[in-house]
Amino acid sequence: MSTQQAEPESQEAPEDPAMKGAESPAADEQTGGGMVDDHAEKRAELEGETVHIKVFRYDPEVEGKQEPRFDDFHVPFEKGMTVLDAVMYARDEYDSSLTFRHSCRQAVCGSDAFFVNGKQRLGCKTQISDLEQPVRIEPLPHQEVVKDLVVDMDHFYDQMHTVEPYFQDEDTPATEDLEEQRQTPENREKIKMSSRCIWCGACMSSCNIAAGDNEYLGPAAINKAYKFAMDDREDEQIKEHRLRILEQEHGVWRCQTQFSCTEVCPKDIPLTEHIQELKREAVKKNLKFW
Ligand code: SF4
Ligand code: FES
């Protein structure tokens, strides 16, 4: 079993260190994600072998690493190995400076969204055996790279907060008279999928509109607004307030229904559908005034 790390080759990474992940040539070369059809056969092939991963590297604080490049690692394959397992192995066994975020390892925290074989995916939810080798692992496109696979999420979080992602009900008494606020099963069903968001940023990273319009709220923030706007426990005034935020110039009308966000969301949230529904709600709200 070979566990050696191959020599890092100086490779076809983008020229500008302040570049965004999507500007990597990998984005165009590997659209489609390289999924392998016969997973069982592929796993059997890999038993006892190593998997070849190519990991994007960039460190603005170290002179010798300021030039973006890809490093090659050969990681011993184990049944059930995920992309996150592979990069953790590479970090723990070969290069402790390899930097990326992760926490829960079970698709809950949303911290390990990467650009893997040309598609946004959660590292901990993506089986290595489902991917063609070498597995190319890059930071999320359209975000500033902080170091290696870590991107700056500040803008994404700012957009999420723009839609006031918390329950508001002006009728809620602020005293001991507070009662449990019940929701109907039907209403729960309606907003169920929207509440699954784990703030991973994959959808925003996949969105061409967000890439060209930095002020666009983006699919995750709009979905978050949907969750609250469709919750019957909020009163009409708050719903109208939310719709006013959403129908602004950089809100729902920017969406061109390309479905890229829906395709990459690791929680299968029907983002495009939700955006379309909010567009209809915004139109209905405005018609009331005529
Ligand atoms: S909507 Fe989906 S892809 Fe977007 S941040 Fe939430 S979980 Fe991630
Ligand atoms: S490590 Fe938490 S979502 Fe992958």
Task: Tell me which residue has its CA closest to atom 8 in ligand 1.
Answer: 200
DSSP-assigned beta bridge partners for residue 69: 57
Q: How many residues are listed for the chain in this entry?
A: 290
84 close to ligand 1 (CB < 6 Angstrom): no
Same domain, 158 and 213: yes
Residue 5 lies in a domain: no
Q: Which of 142, 198, 271 to mutate to test the pocket of ligand 1 (most atoms within 8 A of CB)?
A: 198
What would the DSSP string read from start to end of the chain? ---PPPPPP-----S-TT-BGGGSTHHHHTTTTTB-S-HHHHHHHHTTSEEEEEEEE--TTSGGG-S-EEEEEEEE--TT-BHHHHHHHHHHHT-TT-------SSSSS---EEEETTEEEEGGG-BGGGBPSSEEEEPPTTSBEEETTEE--HHHHHHHHHT--S---TT--SSTT-------HHHHHHHTGGGG-----HHHHH-HHHHH-TT---HHHHHHHHHHHT-TTS-HHHHHHHHHHHTSTTSGGG-----HHHHH-TT---HHHHHHHHHHHHHHHHHTT-
Q: How does residue 46 score in pLDDT terms, banded at 50, 70 and 90?
A: confident
86 close to ligand 1 (CB < 6 Angstrom): no
d(CA 202, CA 171): 36
124 close to ligand 2 (CB < 6 Angstrom): yes
- Give Cβ neighbours of residue 203 (< 8 Å, ≥ 6 apart): 120, 218, 219, 220, 223, 260, 261, 262, 264, 265, 271
| Dihedrals phi, psi of 222, to nearest 5 degrees | -65, -40
Q: How does residue 59 score in pLDDT terms, banded at 50, 70 and 90?
A: very high
Ligand nearest to the CA of 105: 2
The per-residue pLDDT for range 182-191, each reduced to its tens digit, is: 899 999 999 9
Cα(198) to centroid of ligand 1, in Å?
6
111 close to ligand 2 (CB < 6 Angstrom): yes
Q: How does residue 180 score in pLDDT terms, banded at 50, 70 and 90?
A: confident
202 close to ligand 2 (CB < 6 Angstrom): no
Residue 274 lies in a domain: yes
Same domain, 62 and 172: no
Same domain, 282 and 165: yes
Same domain, 223 and 258: yes
Provide the percentage of residues in the chain whose pLDDT is more than 90: 71
The per-residue pLDDT for range 76-134, each reduced to its tens digit, is: 999 999 999 999 999 999 999 999 999 999 999 999 999 999 999 999 999 999 999 99
82-91, 161-170, 197-206, 274-283: the lowest-pLDDT one: 161-170
Same domain, 97 and 186: no
d(CA 179, CA 196): 25
Q: Residue 256: what residue type?
A: Q
Q: How does residue 48 score in pLDDT terms, banded at 50, 70 and 90?
A: confident
d(CA 218, CA 206): 10
The atom number, within ligand 2, closest to the CA of 102 reads 1
Same domain, 78 and 134: yes
Q: How does residue 254 score in pLDDT terms, banded at 50, 70 and 90?
A: very high
DSSP-assigned beta bridge partners for residue 75: 51
Residue 45 lies in a domain: yes
Q: What is the pTM of this model?
A: 0.83
Residue-number span of the structural domain to which 277 is assigned? 154-287
Evaluate whether 82 touches 7 at the Cβ level (below 8 Å). Answer: no
- Give Cβ neighbours of residue 142 (< 8 Å, ≥ 6 apart): 20, 21, 22, 204, 205, 207, 210, 211
What would the DSSP string read from start to end of 59-71? -TTSGGG-S-EEE
150 close to ligand 2 (CB < 6 Angstrom): no
Evaluate whether 252 touches 275 at the Cβ level (below 8 Å). Answer: yes
198 close to ligand 1 (CB < 6 Angstrom): yes
Ligand nearest to the CA of 104: 2
The per-residue pLDDT for range 119-174, each reduced to its tens digit, is: 999 999 999 999 999 999 999 999 999 999 999 999 999 999 999 999 887 766 66
Same domain, 87 and 109: yes
Residue 3 lies in a domain: no
Cα(103) to centroid of ligand 2, in Å?
5
Same domain, 164 and 261: yes
User: Total structural domains in the chain?
Assistant: 2
| Dihedrals phi, psi of 71, to nearest 5 degrees | -105, 140
207 close to ligand 1 (CB < 6 Angstrom): no
Q: How does residue 178 score in pLDDT terms, banded at 50, 70 and 90?
A: confident
138 close to ligand 2 (CB < 6 Angstrom): no
